[in-house]
Structure formats: C-alpha cells, structure tokens
Structure 1
Amino acid sequence: MTRPHVLLSVAMSVDGYIDDASPERLRLSDAADFDRVDQVRADSDAILIGAETLRRDNPRLLVDSADRRAARIAVGKPEYPLKITVTARGDLDPALRFWHHGGAKLVYTTDAGATRLADSLSGLADVVPLGADLDFAALLDDLGRRGIGRLMVEGGTRIHTAFLAADLADELHLAVAPLLVGDSHAPRFLDPASYPGAPHRRMHLADVTQIGDVAVLRYLPKAMHP
C-alpha cells in the first residue's frame, strides 16, 4: 500500500496571510492563477479542504473547465476528483455547497465526530472515523488503500500546518500575491508548530513561475537543500 503524493496549494499575501478578516473572501489570485489551480485540481485524484475553510468560504471545490473534466473521463477517471474534508468535532452543515456539487465526497473525523455526522450527512458523504484524535498519517494510509495516487490539499491554516508538521507533504505550491493585509485577526498560511528540522532545514525550490502579477513557487519540502 502506497500513500498518495501530497501537494499543498495556497495563495497568500506578501506578508503571509491567506485572507483578510472581513466577511467577504479576499481574492489573492488573478484569473490566470485560478486557471492554473483548476489544472492542478484536474490532475489530482482527490482534493482536501479543512472544515473551517469549508464553513468560512462555502466552496463547491470543483474542476471548472469542461475540457479538463472531459479529459479526465477520456482516460477512465471520474469527472471530478474525490472531495474530502476533515473535522474533529463533526460540526458540518449539510446545506453547504460542497455536498451538492461534483462527485463523491469523503469526511475524515474523530470517533465522536462520526457519531455526530452519521445522520446529518447520510446520503451526502462517506464518513470515516480516525480514532479519538485526527491522525493525518492514518488518513493518507486510508486514501492509499482507496487507490488515491495524488492528493491536492487546499487548506486552510490548521490543515496545512498539520501536514507540514507531520512531514507528510511532498510538494508545496505557494502563490504569492502582491498585496499586504496587515491584520493580526486575519488567517495566516501556517500556525506555529514543531516543524521537522526547523529552523535550519531548507526546502528545495524546484520552480518559480510568474503568472500575471503572482509569483508561484514550487517547493519540495522533503528534498532538503544544502
């Protein structure tokens, strides 16, 4: 059994924020970068998003391009990647758009969260308990057993932090927008954590691409740069 290749994808401001503190979502990327993200989604077997981001942004989390969806079908893949969310408490509203668009959905949660979600998400998603606490290594093991080869993780802060702190990320796509947020109440890309080798372990910078006014940095977290 092989765990999936884990790709973290995030857009952030120059000062490290992934949103502002207003009720409206801050658009950090431009149209060209959103199209790039759509291609990464289309190339993935599954897309994962945290419950907090799900509640805050209420995304559909789809591959928007009809041509890309058709290309997936042409090679024998489902039209949409598997959509996954992670929640410890199980407080997810069944009315969220996430459940009512795209293909199959999966929820990873705790034993207590699974009990809470058993009825509310019946017919909308498969609910998988991971034990008393969320175990992201066990999550990847389960996805490997399900045949998922490539997992795209779209956040938010706690989810990205968990994957990097546990050394479970194989690739990081960091889109840096030419904006400054400067609000301590706004969410940042990462929380403080005990990251492997920090602060001396250097990631390998595999690629830098300019897309409009956005710089996309592709890092390989496990490939240490001397």
Structure 2
Amino acid sequence: MPSHHKERTAVPRPYVILSVATSIDGHIDDTSATRLLLSNADDFDRVDQVRADSDAILIGAGTMRADNPRLLVNSEERRAKRVAAGKSEFPLKVTVSASGDIDPNLKFWHHGGEKVAYTTDGGEETLRERLAGLADVVSTGQELNFGELLDDLGKRGVERLMVEGGGQVHTAFLSQGLADEIHMAIAPLVVGEADAPSFLNPAAYPGGSTRRMKLAEARTIGDVVLLRYLPKESSEA
C-alpha cells in the first residue's frame, strides 16, 4: 500500500563568506574612538561588489554599536542590476545579539530593505520591544545558535551570506565549521595595541593548529593584499 507520507526536504544553508580587513598584526580596529580605516578605496569598492552579490549581510551587535554602519550596497549601478535580476534592491540585513540590548536609533535599522535580528530566549522580549516593527526578531534558543540561524536564513531564500564581523561573530562561524570562504584584506599597517579587537578570538578550530586551509586566491589591490581561503578544504601542500 503506497504511503502518503511526504518526507521533508532539508533547505540548504547559505554559502557563508567571512569578510574582514586586518592590520599586519591581525587587528580589525585600534582602541581609539574613531574607526580605523584599513581598506583603501579600491578594496572598499570590491567589498561593495561582494555585498551586491550576496543575498544577506550579517554583523554582530558589537560591530553595530562600535561603527554604526548603514551596511548598504553603495553603487546605484549594482543595486539596479540586483533589481533587474529580480532581487531586492538591497540584501537582507542581519544581526545577532544574545542580550537583545540594541539601540533602535542606529543607522542599520533605518537604511536599506528588510532586516532580521537573531537573539536568545532571554533576549527575545527585550529585542521585540526595542525594535517594534523595525526587524523580524527570531530566537535561536537558550543560546545564540549559528546553525539554527543559517537554517532559518536558508528557509528565507538566502543562498549567499556575507559576514562582516566582528571578531566574536567571525570566531563563532569559523570555529563551528560554518564558514565556506574567507576574504581577508591585509592593510600595510601595524596596530600594536594589546586591547585592540582582532579578526579571531581564542577557540577550538576544526583541525587544530596544524591544519592548512586551501588558498584560493592572492592578489594586490593597491597597497592592500587580498587573501581568499576555503576553510572547509585543505591545502595539498
């Protein structure tokens, strides 16, 4: 007798790109009140293209507080191409906050298109009250669960996710084996401050310290060097 039970087909998770600019000594900012500009104009334009090619862009709440970015595709031409291809003018904007303590007046919430904020069961009520219609609020459980986050984004049709930091968020994706690609732009300067934020924090990373990732590309962009790694693949060297 034929079964009428339909098996659920899993929605694929987005392809995850970690995008970062660092100093030679691995810092993503200094400790001053002003944001440290590590990229040059041509590299900022490259980042704008990666944003335009993505379905969603993610930053953590800490980066949002520190930099107060709009997180947009800046090129009118690139936005027009997205619309012509049947996409929204701007990628979905995503953030994560365990506590739900986010200022609703930050630029992130008032520019671009749709937004979604992931939080915990403990932060959900606070975040819903704070944002009140500015974003879709989703709890991933008792703790921030980045796998659940990716599953939810997949259900929303996100195929390509660009993660722009900060260090805690990059560390979570990479240490949990959730990053497919790393775009690292290295600027020709040294920060040298012990308390300056870094690209990655101490964690147990897949394969440990002897595992060599595959280097997919290395190129110069003015005075910046772009390295593109594939963390799920190993170097043959």
TM-score band, normalised by the shorter chain?
over 0.9
The reply on whether 1:39 has 2:41 as its aligned counterpart is no
Shift of 1:100: 0.2
In 2, Cα distance between equivalents of 1:209 and 1:149: 26
After TM superposition, the structure 1 = structure 2 runs for residues 18-167 of structure 1, keeping only pairs within 5 Å, are 18-167=28-177
**Equivalent of 2:202, from 180, 184, 192?**
192
Paired residue for 2:4? none
Q: Identity of counterpart residues, as a percentage? A: 64
Shift of 1:3: 0.3
The reply on whether 1:222 has 2:206 as its aligned counterpart is no
In 2, Cα distance between equivalents of 1:120 and 1:168: 29
- Say which SS state the counterpart of residue 69 (structure 1) adopts: helix
Shift of 1:200: 1.3
In 1, Cα distance between equivalents of 2:123 and 2:186: 35
CA RMSD of aligned residues (A): 0.5
Shift of 1:157: 0.3
Gaps spanning 5+ residues in structure 1: where? none
Cα deviations across residues 84-123 of structure 1 (Å, max 9, x unaligned)?
Answer: 0000001100000000000000000001111111121011
Which residue identity lines up with residue 165 of structure 1 in the other structure? Answer: S
The reply on whether 1:172 has 2:198 as its aligned counterpart is no
**Equivalent of 2:217, from 192, 202, 207?**
207
Shift of 1:74: 0.2
Paired residue for 2:8? none
In 2, Cα distance between equivalents of 1:205 and 1:13: 19
Number of residue pairs matched?
226
Which residue identity lines up with residue 93 of structure 1 in the other structure? Answer: D
Shift of 1:133: 0.2
Shift of 1:218: 0.4
In 2, Cα distance between equivalents of 1:117 and 1:168: 25
TM-score with structure 1 length normalisation?
Answer: 0.99
The reply on whether 1:17 has 2:27 as its aligned counterpart is yes
In 2, Cα distance between equivalents of 1:56 and 1:120: 18
Paired residue for 2:5? none
Structure 1 consecutive aligned stretches of length 4 or more whose deviation exceeds 6 Å: none
In 1, Cα distance between equivalents of 2:19 and 2:163: 6
Gaps spanning 5+ residues in structure 2: where? 1-10
